[in-house]
Each structure stands twice: as C-alpha cells, then as structure tokens.
Amino acid sequence: MNTFPDFAERFKDLISESGLSQKQIACAIGITETSVSNYISGKSEPSLKVLVAIADYFKCTTDYITGKKDESEEKIFLPCPPFSTQLKILMDKKPCSSYRLCTDANIPQASFYDWRNGKTEPNLYNVKKLLDYFDCSLDFLLGREA
C-alpha cells in the first residue's frame, strides 16, 4: 500500500539530482541500500524516523517528499520531539477526546494509546489519517516546524 504515492518518485528524483548512488545515500541516511531500493520502487514505505532523516538529508520538507506540497523549501527544521509530546500539543490545539479522535479518524484505540504513551509511533498510513483529522502539515504534525 502506498500511503503517499508521490514519495517513491520524489525520493528517486532527489537521489538522481544529488548525483550520488543509492549506496551513498543509504550510508548518509543510516539505512540499507535495499531499503532505498524498496522505497524508490514503492515496495515499502519508511518509518517516520527514516522519513525525517531523508528530508533532513535533502534539506526539504516532509510535505514535499511525500507529495503533500509541490514546492520544495530548503530550510533547517527543529529537531522532532517525541511523537507522544507532539500528539498532546495537537490535541490541545484542536480540543478533542482520544475517543473522538480514534472514532473520527478511524484509528484503533490501542494504537493511539501506544503513541500517546511513547511506546510506538504511527506508520505512514495512520499518519495520513492524523493529517486529515488535524488538517495540518506533516512537518507540523511531526514537530519539525512551529
């Protein structure tokens, strides 16, 4: 499943524009060459941590690399706080109960509680649901921008 269908193409383009090999990119980001290959072929999607590492390496927004925005902005972002911290901030900005969020966004409550308690982070499929629910940028959702 490709949650962000433009990701593979954008990542491939960024690699091509850099003039580096997939192996060099993999080393620079801290992932395997197989992961790079799987991402650009659409066979798999990165975790949030890897997505941020890719965006940081190429100095672009996560919104650009996932296809949520068409323009690339080269800038330095804030370090991502723990996802649980950012989730609490988002819930304060859009006052809602955890039950309401899970129901409206169709997110399993067990997953939500694991995110809120810092046990896990959402995959890109659930991130997309959160983006739609909170109606914000991916970089804001991740705490990379204020």
58-116: pLDDT as tens digits = 999 999 999 999 887 777 788 999 999 999 999 999 888 999 999 999 999 999 999 99
31: left (phi over 0), alpha (psi -120 to 50) or beta: beta
What length is written for the chain?
A: 146
Those residues with Cβ within 8 angstroms of residue 130's Cβ, 6 or more apart along the chain or in another chain: 90, 105, 107, 122, 141
Q: What Rg, from alpha-carbon coordinates, does the chain have?
A: 15
CA distance 115 to 91: 13
**Residue appearing with tokens 């395997």:** 32
Predicted confidence (pLDDT) at residue 1 exceeds the cutoff of 70: no
pTM of the model: 0.90
Query: What's the pLDDT tens digit per position in 53-66?
Result: 999 999 999 999 99
Q: CA–CA separation, 5 vs 1, rounded Å?
A: 9
